[in-house]
Amino acid sequence: MIVYCSVPNESVAQEISRSIVEEGLCACVTQIPRVKSYYIYEGEFCEDDEHLLMIKTASTHYKALEQRLNELHPYDVPEIICTPIIESSPAYHAWLIAALK
């Protein structure tokens, strides 16, 4: 599965990415810099420059990953959205599963 998580800046992106990869909660994190998010929070319109993390993991690791993201993330309500990987190459799938702890 792929878990999407937006973060406020590159240093937070690096800290979270390194932690969750080293802890074996995911196989890989791809950081997409300079995304713009528009949303309403606590009744106010917000427009923020953020970084988006694409976190590749397995469903067996999702709950632990979600918990760790909530611990590491500076936002009160971090974006943590999960979507299944419908298909992937067999070699990539094998690597992803082997990389998890």
Instruction: Give the predicted TM-score (pTM) of the model.
Output: 0.94
| Three-state SS at 52 | strand
Q: Could you tell me the CATH number of the domain that includes residue 45?
A: 3.30.70.120
pLDDT at 32: 98
Find the Cα–Cα–Cα–Cα dihedral 73, 21, 52, 64, rounded to 10°. -50
Report the number of distinct structural domains present in the chain: 1
List the domain range (segments joined by +) for residue 16.
2-99
* CB atoms closer than 10 angstroms to residue 100: 15
Per-residue tens of pLDDT for the chain, all 101 residues: 999 999 999 999 999 999 999 999 999 999 999 999 999 999 999 999 999 999 999 999 999 999 999 999 999 999 999 999 999 999 999 999 999 98
Report the C-alpha gap between 48 and 35 in whole angstroms.
8
- CA-to-CA distance for 60 and 97, rounded, in angstroms? 10
> Is the CB of residue 37 less than 8 Å from the CB of residue 82?
no
